[in-house]
Amino acid sequence: MNRTLATLAAVGASAALVAGCSNPDTNSDSDASATASSGAVTGDITVFAAASLKTTFTELGETFEAENPGTNVEFNFAGSSDLVTQLIQGAPADVFASADTSNMTKAVDGDLVAGEPANFATNTLTIVTAPGNPKNVTSFADLADPDVLTVICAPQVPCGSATKKVEDATGTEIPAVSEESAVTDVLGKVTSGQADAGLVYVTDAAGVGDQVATVDFPESAEAVNTYPIATLNSSDNAGTAAAFVALVTSDTGRRVLTEAGFGAP
């Protein structure tokens, strides 16, 4: 991928932008517009983002390209733990958005992150079943029944970590038939009929509409995931990377995320 080399002035401007993104409450649409008008916003960037962000970030990527002619945003969507592993192993990227703070901390500790990460959204779990809920799942405790074939995320994945927190808080152990590396894989097992139930984010359930039935449970409040985003030290287009972060944390980004079911950070 050919990328525009940032000038020294662009790097200085982008550093200020990243610092401004550290508190998402201080960002607005004008922030992203001001960044775009600085002349540093051009060329290609690659964004590594949690699988649960695919719909919203795809939309924001299209908005970003439309508002900044000459830019191109490419995405790598996967489980946050897989993304961090790829980054640590040297995968090139400009921006990282995680579905939890622990995987972002790994990136920070690995000296991968430029500036301070900005929290931009929250998410909670819900139970999904086949349409009509044929196994009559009505509570989190029902997932302990081995006759209910339940799929969850692996514990190192944010949705799996959240599941474990709820299990610990309730004393309920789910005899999962499989543990997946991304929340979208859990959803796929349920929509394809390979599982009776699964634990996914409310945003993922909303995204597939009537392909699933949802069962909310109050214990989900025990495990609210906070989503942080940051530019990366390895970026060779820091100005454009910072401008994308500014869009995500702006009023426009908040609106898109809220419409998809994400909570405020």
Please state the residue numbers annotated as binding site for molybdate. 52, 80, 183, 201
Written as six digits, the tokens of 84 are 């961090």
How wide is the angle at C-alpha 94 spanned by C-alphas 91 and 99, nearest 5°? Answer: 85
Nearest to 83, CA basis, from 165, 155, 157, 22: 157
Q: What stretches of 120-250 show up as alpha helix (H) in DSSP? A: 158-170, 183-191, 202-207, 238-248
Asked if residue 54 lies in contact with residue 203, where contact means CB atoms within 8 angstroms, the answer is no
Give the side-chain half-sphere CA count within 13 A for 6: 24
Four-residue CA torsion sign, 174, 102, 82, 48 = positive
Nearest to 201, CA basis, from 223, 229, 179: 223
Indicate the annotated binding residues.
Answer: 52, 80, 183, 201
Written as six digits, the tokens of 256 are 């898109």
Q: For residue 216, give the 3-state DSSP assignment.
A: coil
